[in-house]
Amino acid sequence: MRFLVALWLLSLPVAAQSTLAVCASNSKDYVVGAKLPPSGVFLNENGHWRHVGFNQPFIVALDYDPADPSTLYLAAGNGLFRAAKHGEEWTQLTGSDVTELRDVSVDPTDPKTIYFAYSHGIRVTHDRGQTWEELAATLHRRYTEAVRVDRAQSKRIVIGGEEGVFRSEDGGKTWLIAGAAGFQILRIEQSPQHACEWLATTQGAGLFASHDCAKTFENSGRIGVGRDLYSISFDPTNALRIALGGWGPGVAISEDGGKTWHERNHGLPRPDVWSVIFDPNHAGRIYASVQEEGMYVSDDAGLTWKPAGLEGSVAWRMKFIP
Amino acid sequence: MKYAVLLSLLFAGHASAAVPTFQQRADAMIDAYAHYNGPGDYGYAEIAARLKRHEQPEWCSKKLEELLAAPTGDMFWMFPVTAIAYLDQGQLSDSARQSLRRVWKTYMPYRGDTENHFLLYYSCLYLMAQYWPDAGPESWYNGKTSQANMEEARQWIESWVKLTTTRGQGEYDSPHYMGVYLLPISYLAAWAKDPVMKNRAQMMLEYLIADYAPENLDGLFVGAHARIYEEQLVERWNGVSTDFGWLWFGLGHPLKLPANYVLYYLLASAFEPPEILKKIATDRSKPYTHYERKRTRNRWRFYDDLHGPVYKTTYVRREYSVGSDQGGALQPIQEHSWDVTWHVPDAQGIQNTFFFNHPYSSMKELQTFFVFPPDGAIEGIIKSKKTYDSPDKILGGSAYEKIVQDQDALVALYNIPAGTRFPQINGFFSKDLKEITEDRSGWIFMRGGDSTYIACRPLQPYDWKPFGESKRLFSPYLQNGVVVQAAAANEFSSLAAFGAAIKALSLEFETSPTPRVKFRSLRGTLIEFTYGETPRLNGKPIDYAHWPLFGGPFLQADVDSESLTMTYGSMKRTLDFKHLTITD
């Protein structure tokens, strides 16, 4: 009985509070200037999707303020937005000097510090977006697709761009190549269980893993070579389970911490996946966004899939918000 | 000689015969919308035109509220709505005006990803922030105050003007998108209250018109273009630039329904070019070569510099033009790198142009200029740019094309890596080319209209394929090229005589291992060009380092100068953007 109570207490905060937020485009018949079907930020509330805030075609990543999770940060074509009040109240935090943002990462230990990756560099604010500093001046090529702050070491920033994975130990003042040199990085994620475990996906060169706190990334050589891997999700309920999403592999799952991978696409309309995420509230539940087919969900870690709404859309990124 | 005199009389007659005045042309274009009485309506454009004419305010109010109930179009929505706000002048109902105010809070336009998008977005944001100068952050879609929006917009507009007057336009010389630049600048010239912004915009209008004036032939925008659509690529009359050529200079023939860009230009400043620009635009009494340096689109990846230079050469004479850039993937998807375009008395429905290209379709090109992920990008592009990934396309530049031009002679070389999608070159042979003659020498001779002879020498074997009413030369060789020489028909007694003169010119070439041409042009210039090397003219390598921002008999500007001097005979006019002055 005591064990059951303990389990209940353990699961209560996550189960009661986590909401899946996605940034999605309904892009099937859209070109710039055309009528835009509902696109932007959607919250999954009891299995139903609610569109919040503005209709926007190019919101490609989101994060939240750990001090106030009802405040989201959105990386968009127009710039970085703060979407307060559960995504309803938007303020543009950037000006004309940045465009076509690619990623955003809030420092979990210092919510005033926010990084974003964009078409021509990386920027940081230390005052919640009032002022910004460019961090890419010393990089050979500035295009940056992915950025993450190390949750265990806030001065450590890991970025991915046109020429590989780079790491900074001083908050972005200086950069060192960390791996995947010469390859376009598509996504970087840090393990929620083991802070020194990182993964990076690439365009065409497969998966790269770091086991030394992002100092070095080595090609795993086991998945996605010759294809493009767009998404990484570590299962918060199972430290050995990891999911990748990509075009071609669809959803690939590892049950042994990345040693082996299995494509699990049964029930998906096509194996072209933009984003995947494990549900921290339900062990074994995983969501996937399939190219212009909408959301799919699996309750058995990808063995079988069923539709989960947002038909016709592409969800570029998903995040569970506490 | 008699033929030449007759032609000059014909042209003189055409130019002066009952061409309406600028004001008459402008009025007719506005009335096409204001007094439209066909089925349906033209939405915002019709509202704006009627407000300009102070006609039917009740209809305008009702229609505006109807449209604002479901706004769409992003920055292309901002420009009609901004014009309506400024043309209102007390005519709209309170309810319509409240809808107009409310929608700038509830609808967030996408800012876009091109310079024309940004210029539209920021010019309109500037003017609407000026319109509601005290509005707080709660009143705007982006949560910024009017003051903050105006300042952000001002900074971008000023930076764009500086970049353009130092390094050239990024979306240069587009027969379509020229309208999207003229429109917002016309707004600022008319409606900006800040005298500095207003003055800068008025000068910029002249600058943009000057950019077009020497590169038009009978009102057709000729030479290399950053962006063009297929319908105007083959039928040069059929696009936005036609309306501006007609409006400003009375050249050519306007579109049946004027493009709405020219309408909004007129609803705002309705700027009439100064006399010197009219002279530059219409005097084709002497052949001339015009040079421009422009700028590539933002290259997000694969290059160390965000922008690279574009070197343009445009030779213009009464009978035809030959224009080019240096080749390469300078712009994505819609680049047009070279052509010969010939005079016809009425270009409506006529495909009076000739060119080749390599049908380049490349993920690398898209990822250079866009932030697209690699998958789904090409299928995304062909939603709106249908021919991008088609082997028979004739639109688009190529990373594997290099070009040199001297006056009316041009050499284009192609060095296409094995494995490239679409390993061939395409030549567009218009339905309106006459007397196409494939000579045993390998030259092809032809006549464009009554005015122009064209010779072209493909360097590799080819086949013919149908292309609508026209035909396409198809040459499936990786190392390839074409030599082109144009001449006025009145320089020769016949096409055969022209052909004989061309065959007498010295031409050496090889295609392997690297395409190379050595050609003595009809005008006596020795052109030596090896793919990947700097071309040589009369033994001297072309000096790209000193290529002017504008050069030639009519326009002069140095790179980084922030000024432009226009000259015509004894007339001279200088636009100085550093000091915001105009000197005559």
List the domain boundaries for chain A. 2-321
Nearest to A315 by CA among A64, A100, A49: A49
User: What are the CA-CA distances from residue B324 to residues A83, B406, B455, B484 (Å)?
Assistant: 48, 10, 17, 12
Give the side-chain half-sphere CA count within 13 A for B218.
21
**pLDDT the model gives residue B37:** 87
Q: Is the per-residue pLDDT at B492 higher than 80?
A: yes
**pLDDT the model gives residue A32:** 66
Residue B524's contacts (CB-CB under 8 Å, 6 or more residues apart) are: none
Q: How many CB pairs under 8 A join A and B?
A: 96
Nearest to B210 by CA among B271, B254, B266, B263: B271
- Dist. CA B322–CA B507, nearest whole Å: 20
Nearest to B180 by CA among B223, B240, B131, B238: B240
Query: Would you place residue B377 in the very low, low, confident or very high pLDDT band (cuts 50, 70, 90)?
Result: confident
Chain B residue with the nearest C-alpha to that of A38:
B72
Choose the mutation target among B81, B142, B386 for the interface with A, i.e. most A CBs under 10 Å: B142
- B73–A55: do the CB atoms touch at under 8 Å? no
- B112–A32: do the CB atoms touch at under 8 Å? yes
Q: Using one digit for the tens of pLDDT, what is the confidence trace for A47-92?
A: 999 999 999 989 999 999 999 999 999 999 999 999 999 999 999 9
Hey, what are B131's tokens? Answer: 């319109």
- Dist. CA A7–CA B534, nearest whole Å: 74
Nearest to B321 by CA among B292, B347, B342: B342
Residue B539 neighbours by CB distance under 10 Å: 7
Chain A residue with the nearest C-alpha to that of B149:
A95
- Dist. CA A155–CA A195, nearest whole Å: 14
Residue A12's contacts (CB-CB under 8 Å, 6 or more residues apart) are: none
Q: Using one digit for the tens of pLDDT, what is the confidence trace for B172-229?
A: 999 999 999 999 999 999 999 999 999 999 999 999 999 999 999 999 999 999 999 9
Chain A residue with the nearest C-alpha to that of B158:
A96
Q: Using one digit for the tens of pLDDT, what is the confidence trace for B425-434?
A: 999 999 999 9
Residue B387's contacts (CB-CB under 8 Å, 6 or more residues apart) are: B230, B393, B394, B395
Nearest Cβ partner for B74 among A32, A91, A230? A32
Our CA dihedral for A13, A17, A18, A23, rounded to 10 degrees, sits at: -160
Give the side-chain half-sphere CA count within 13 A for A261.
21
Q: Using one digit for the tens of pLDDT, what is the confidence trace for B199-212?
A: 999 999 999 999 99
- Dist. CA B276–CA B112, nearest whole Å: 36
Choose the mutation target among A25, A27, A28, A32 for the interface with B, i.e. most B CBs under 10 Å: A32
- B304–A141: do the CB atoms touch at under 8 Å? yes
- B300–A119: do the CB atoms touch at under 8 Å? yes
- Dist. CA B256–CA A273, nearest whole Å: 47
Q: Is the per-residue pLDDT at A38 higher than 70?
A: yes
pTM of the model: 0.94
**pLDDT the model gives residue B13:** 38
Nearest Cβ partner for A77 among B110, B152, B374? B110
Nearest Cβ partner for B141 among A54, A120, A291? A54
Nearest Cβ partner for A143 among B108, B152, B301? B301
Hey, what are A248's tokens? Answer: 């071609």
Q: Using one digit for the tens of pLDDT, what is the confidence trace for B543-553?
A: 999 999 999 99
Residues of A in contact with B122 (CB under 8 A): 96
Distance from CA of A110 to the nearest CA of B (A): 24
- Dist. CA A13–CA A28, nearest whole Å: 38
- Dist. CA B81–CA B97, nearest whole Å: 11
- B375–A89: do the CB atoms touch at under 8 Å? no
- Dist. CA A54–CA A89, nearest whole Å: 9
Q: Which residue has the tokens 């993937």?
A: B329
Residues of B in contact with A204 (CB under 8 A): 374
Nearest Cβ partner for A77 among B113, B302, B384? B113
**pLDDT the model gives residue A8:** 38
Average pLDDT of chain B is 95
Chain A residue with the nearest C-alpha to that of B79:
A33
Give the side-chain half-sphere CA count within 13 A for A259.
5
Residues of A in contact with B105 (CB under 8 A): none
Question: In this structure, which topology does domain A2-321 adopt according to CATH?
Answer: Methylamine Dehydrogenase; Chain H (2.130.10)
Looking at per-residue pLDDT, the higher value among B14 and A220 belongs to: A220
Helices (H), B442-564: 495-503
Q: Which residues of A234-261 are buried (b: 16+ CB within 10 A; e: fewer)?
A: bbbbeeebbbbbbbebbbbbbeebbeeb
Nearest to A233 by CA among A114, A315, A307, A139: A315
Q: Which residue has the tokens 């030779």?
A: B315
Residues of A in contact with B298 (CB under 8 A): 119-120
Distance from CA of B420 to the nearest CA of A (A): 18
What are the beta bridge partners of residue A91?
Answer: A82
CA B483 to chain centre: 24
Q: What is the mean pLDDT of residues B354-365?
A: 96
Nearest Cβ partner for B108 among A29, A56, A100? A56
Nearest Cβ partner for A31 among B108, B306, B383? B383
